[in-house]
Structure 1
Amino acid sequence: MINAKKLEEIAKQVSESLPPSVKQFAEDMEGKTKQILQSKLSQLDMVSREEFDVQTRVLMRTREKLVDLEQKVAALEASINQQQPESNE
């Protein structure tokens, strides 16, 4: 099995042996990448977790009301069908 601590030591040694210009380039790339990601994420049409949770609760209540209304309509239809005289065929 690979020793994680040994891998960290190797990575540290490689990092320390890099010339300063390469380290600066890597830091610049990391900074620019973060800027681009933040910019693109801010352009997305997203809602907050709080708003998502609120809408989820609204949807659950709406579904409950829909089930209730479906049952009431079915009961009314049954009642209407019982009141109507059967047609002779």
Structure 2
Amino acid sequence: MIDPKKLDEMARRIGAGLPESVRAFQKDVERQVRSTLHQGFERMDLVTREDFDVQAALLERTRARLRELEDRIAALEGQAPVDDRGGSDIT
């Protein structure tokens, strides 16, 4: 989830960019913007950078393990006796 402080900062920046005629309503506008941003981000089902990095590291370890296992299988298949039909004798 997005840090509430970042939402507040975004809302303040948007409010500060309003024309003078609308600045009287700045707090209401900031509140509405904050609410809209929060709802939008909730619907996006975002993850934190930390969670993303953890999952990326896990995926990399899984890929490395898969490569190791594929290499072991290839080595074992190379050692298996082959029958005359092109298949392995291992059942």
Higher relative contact order (CA 8 A, sep 6+): 2
Residue-pair matches, total: 66
Structure 2 unmatched ranges of 5 or more:
1-18, 86-91
Identity level (%): 36
Q: Which residue does 2:46 correspond to in 1? A: 46
Structure with max Cα Rg = 1
Q: RMSD between aligned alpha carbons?
A: 2.4
Letter in 2 for 1:71: D
- After the TM superposition, which parts of structure 1 deviate over 4 Å for at least 4 consecutive aligned residues? none
TM-score w.r.t. structure 2 length? 0.57
Structure with greater proportional helix content? 1
Structure 1 unmatched ranges of 5 or more:
1-14
TM-score w.r.t. structure 1 length? 0.58
Deviations 1:37-58 (A, max 9, x none): 1232234322221111111111
